[in-house]
């Protein structure tokens, strides 16, 4: 059983991104999405990152809560 914590910081690390609070805030500012764009369709993701996000939500995986938190933060 995977008991690791799937925080927002851990999600950024999993995606290969800087997981510092400052870097996360900057990422959100630079890449805000309008309500009509699905999170995984953001033009800033690599194909692997987009698939990870899409799968996390589709499969309601352990990462879904952190992905949902990011999704909420990314909306303008």
CA 5/CA 11 separation, integer angstroms: 10
Domain count, the chain: 1
pLDDT of residue 36: 96
Query: Is 60 within the bounds of a domain?
Result: yes
Query: Is 26 within the bounds of a domain?
Result: yes
Q: Which domain holds residue 22?
A: 8-73
pLDDT in tens, 16-66: 999 999 999 999 999 999 999 999 999 999 999 999 999 999 999 999 999
Query: Is 24 within the bounds of a domain?
Result: yes
pLDDT of residue 1: 44
pLDDT of residue 4: 65
CA 17/CA 37 separation, integer angstroms: 21
What phi-psi label fits residue 60: left (phi over 0), alpha (psi between -120 and 50 degrees) or beta?
A: left
For residue 18, give the CATH number of its domain: 1.10.10.1130
Query: Is 3 within the bounds of a domain?
Result: no
Question: pTM, whole model, 2 decimals?
Answer: 0.90
Q: Report the alpha-carbon angle 76-23-57, nearest 5.
A: 60
């Amino acid at each position: 059983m995977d008991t690791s914590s799937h925080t927002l910081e851990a999600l950024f690390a999993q995606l290969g991104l800087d997981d510092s609070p400052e870097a996360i805030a900057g990422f959100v500012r630079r890449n805000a999405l309008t309500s009509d764009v699905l999170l995984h369709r953001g033009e800033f993701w690599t194909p692997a990152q987009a698939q990870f996000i899409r799968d996390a939500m589709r499969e309601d995986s352990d990462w879904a809560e952190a992905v949902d938190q990011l999704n909420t933060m990314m909306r303008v």
